[in-house]
Amino acid sequence: MSLFASLIALSMAGAAPAADYRQRPPEDEIVYFLLPDRFENGDAGNDKGGLEGDRLATGYDPASKGFFHGGDLKGVIRRLDYIQSLGATAVWLSPVFKNKVVQGPKGQESAGYHGYWVTDFTRVDPHLGTNADFKALVDAAHAKGMKVYMDILINHTADVIEMAECKGYDCPYRSRADYPYARRAADGASVNDGFAGDDVQTTENFARLTDPNFAYMVKVAPHEKDIKVPAWLNEPIYYHNRGNSTFTGESSTMGDFVGLDDLMTENPRVVQGFVDIYGDWIDRYKVDGFRIDTAKHVNPEFWRAFAPAMLDRAAKNGIPNFHIFGEYATGDMDPTITAQGTRVAGLPSSLDFPFFAAVRDVAGGTKAPDWLEKLFSADPLYGDDRTALRLPTFTGNHDFGRFAHFARKAFPAASDQEILRRTELAHAMLLTLRGVPVLYSGDEQGFTGDGGDQDAREDMFPSKVAVYNDNELIGTDATTARSNFDPDHPLYRAFARLAKLRQDHVALRRGEQRIRTYAEKPGLFAVSRIDAASGQEILLAFNTSNAPLSANVAVDPLKNNYTALYGDCPARSAAPGQLAIKLPPLGYMICKAQ
């Protein structure tokens, strides 16, 4: 470890002693998100998950971006110091549950390395380790004063149920109004239709029912009829079975998410089943929060029952600041979608996709800073004054792609140095503006990716994937073909410095955000973060243009002296209520008001 990283680690340890981690509110966290399979290989013995055969049998192919690569929970434990030295106080893991090993149309198969094709909700996938490994990880993180957030699923399971009338994955959605048909299990057992036998293949032979919950006849392969755990998940009656969602209208909550089995979350048995499943993970491992995958595609009544039950379970386990945030995804800067999670579903928080879109476009240079003003002006949509402070914010992720990719796409002729500066600027916004910053693993090492989904899920340990290894990383001459845990990478150092400032100044974590000025073309965006309890005020100024900037910023006329926390802050205001600032191209400053 470099001297720089050692000093950061020491300062972070002093700022967040292990004994106090439970008392930190969610807005005090800096979250590091990772996919265990793509992070570090701590145990080569579990690379194939205990299975034998080719990649379609084991799911393991380290040269393919769509299969398991060998990372695991022991590898995460090994790198906890690296994560903490970066300034992160919490680790968010993609789902660790046992997945269907491989699925997909013939010739287009991929593996469940990402964790979102769950078959067993009670155990860790053998490719990632064991339940004991998960406990060891949580315990090791807690010993360092770090929290652990689980990524959980409720909307769907792995694709096991097949609609008998459809061809493979091509199964159009059938609405409740148009198709009140019966469903049947593959083994001939009747499912609410009173029939027996498994030779009925056409809708003409279905029993007509008045209950509109029934659409397609279903089939389950004999070797998969008992694959799901807990056992009640193997009953087709607990699924919608209406075909693939179009992501509009009723299909948004009742259709299969690209073929994945969509649970009937309106059913009280399903509600109680998942309360029991995830309550048990809290009881057994004392995790600190849940990120809820595809929350937008579950009926809001479910969340109004589930979230209070989880908060109560956590409180009984001595976890007073359990953080729950749902995925209400939007690729645009549209807070009305994300706010459905808190306002309609009653979840404590939502993953802030509008922040991602706004910073992508503003720091990426395609929109002016007034786009950020529009973003933050919508904060009351989420609820009270504290709700927006608890929205996890991010600049890129495993689904949509990395910030550096978007910046390069917007400016294909830009130098690597410009993309590096834009990436640091975006993360300066992430780590100082309102919300709970989420760092995506690899961004601190200059990863760029080729797009979203599999193209943004590079290995941190030496990769064998050709389409990863030909990527041109920023801020380094390294490639993903080597191990990338360098604490001296310029982005790692910048993120760690910003994280330290955030931890040292309560206004940057909990302070009200007051917009001071914003440009209507690429240029200045300035805000103050003000902590009501202490009166502490931090002025933030960002230059989103590729040219030097000189401007006056309207500030509190009673605060005339400033201390530079980063950048060339003026020591005094030029006149009461006016601060004259200068910023380099794509630069920023952080000033403490006296």
pLDDT digits (tens, 9 = 90+) for 379-431: 999 999 899 999 999 999 999 999 999 999 999 999 999 999 999 999 999 99
pLDDT, residue 88, reads: 98
pLDDT in tens, 161-176: 988 778 777 899 998 8
Q: Angle at Cα 372 formed by Cα 369 and Cα 375, nearest 5°?
A: 155
d(Cα 504, Cα 14) in Å, to the nearest integer? 10
pLDDT at 68 over 50: yes
pLDDT, residue 590, reads: 98
CA dihedral for 11, 14, 17, 20, sign (positive or negative): negative
d(Cα 62, Cα 464) in Å, to the nearest integer? 6
Residue 217 banded pLDDT, cuts 50, 70, 90: confident
Name which of 62-66, 187-191, 487-491 the model is least confident about.
187-191
One domain, residues 469 and 422: yes
pLDDT at 7 over 90: no
One domain, residues 515 and 466: no
pLDDT, residue 268, reads: 95
One domain, residues 70 and 215: no
Tokens of 9: 């680690």
Name which of 207-211, 222-226, 287-291 the model is least confident about.
207-211
CA 346 to chain centre: 19
One domain, residues 122 and 181: no
Domains in the chain, number:
3
pLDDT at 348 over 90: yes
- Tell how strand 588-593 and strand 562-566 pair up: antiparallel
One domain, residues 312 and 422: yes
Buried b (16+ CB within 10 A) or exposed e, 344-354: ebbbbbbbbbb
- In a 13 Å sphere around the CA of 354, the CA atoms on its Cβ side amount to 24
For the chain, give the percent of residues with pLDDT over 70.
Answer: 91
Question: Sheet of 588-593: strands edge to edge?
Answer: 512-518, 524-530, 537-543, 588-593, 562-566
pLDDT in tens, 480-537: 999 999 999 999 999 999 999 999 999 999 999 999 999 999 999 999 999 999 999 9
Q: Tokens 């993903």 correspond to what residue?
A: 480
What is the value of pTM for the model shown? 0.93
One domain, residues 344 and 413: yes
CA 56 to chain centre: 28
One domain, residues 234 and 274: no
One domain, residues 143 and 8: yes
Render 213-264 in DSSP notation, one character per residue. T--S-EEE-GGGTT-SBSGGGG-GGGB----B--SSTTHHHHSBBTTB-BB-
One domain, residues 327 and 187: no
Residue 19 banded pLDDT, cuts 50, 70, 90: low
pLDDT, residue 211, reads: 45
- Which residues does the annotation mark as catalytic? 293, 327
pLDDT, residue 207, reads: 31
One domain, residues 257 and 274: no
Instruction: Strands of 309-450 (E only): list them.
Output: 323-326, 349-350, 392-394, 436-440
Q: Which residues pair with 438 in a beta bridge?
A: 31, 394
CATH number at residue 305: 3.20.20.80
pLDDT at 251 over 90: yes
Q: Which of 241, 263, 285 is the last residue of a domain?
A: 263
One domain, residues 386 and 409: yes
pLDDT at 191 over 80: no
What is the chain's mean pLDDT, rounded? 91
One domain, residues 175 and 282: no
Domain of 257 in residue numbering reads as 156-263
pLDDT, residue 18, reads: 63
pLDDT, residue 168, reads: 72
Q: Which of 447, 470, 504 is the last residue of a domain?
A: 504
Q: Angle at Cα 389 formed by Cα 388 and Cα 390, nearest 5°?
A: 90
pLDDT, residue 199, reads: 31
d(Cα 136, Cα 133) in Å, to the nearest integer? 5
Q: Which of 263, 289, 323 is the last residue of a domain?
A: 263
State mean pLDDT over 312-333: 97
CATH number at residue 558: 2.60.40.1180
Q: Which of 498, 379, 360 is nearest to 431 (CA)?
A: 498
pLDDT at 265 over 70: yes
pLDDT, residue 249, reads: 95
